[in-house]
Amino acid sequence: MIGHAFSRVAAERFFAPRTPSGTRKECRTPLYIEPRFGRKINILWDFAVNRVLRHLYIWQDRAEQRGRLSTMDARMLKDIGITRHDAAQEARKPFWTA
């Protein structure tokens, strides 16, 4: 290990956790994660996944509605109270804009 700028021994010494007094201590135990922390991570993960899925559903719904709007005839557009110009303008919007 002579000649290596950063040997395994130096790495263990450098990355060893610190004690409250500021000195480094030897740590041979595996990483432990509190059960409460794991539950919080799962809750945050579920929230993030649900939020992404909700956005995908909304975007798909918008795309379908705008596609149907572009195929409506003048009588149907008159029934819902919008003009052909307004329908075309709405149908041209990308699905991610409200």
What are the tens digits of pLDDT across the range 42-80?
888 888 889 999 999 999 999 999 999 999 999 999 999
Residue 21 inside a domain? The answer is yes
Q: Based on the structure, what is the number of domains in the chain?
A: 1
Percentage, residues of the chain above pLDDT 90 = 45
Residue 40: what pLDDT? 77
Alpha carbon of residue 51 to chain centroid:
8
60 domain residue, yes or no = yes
Q: Which domain holds residue 26?
A: 8-92
pLDDT at 26 (0 to 100): 56
In a domain, 72, yes or no: yes
> What pLDDT, on a 0 to 100 scale, did the predictor assign at position 98?
83
Percent of the chain with pLDDT strictly greater than 70: 62
Instruction: Write down the pLDDT at residue 45.
Output: 84
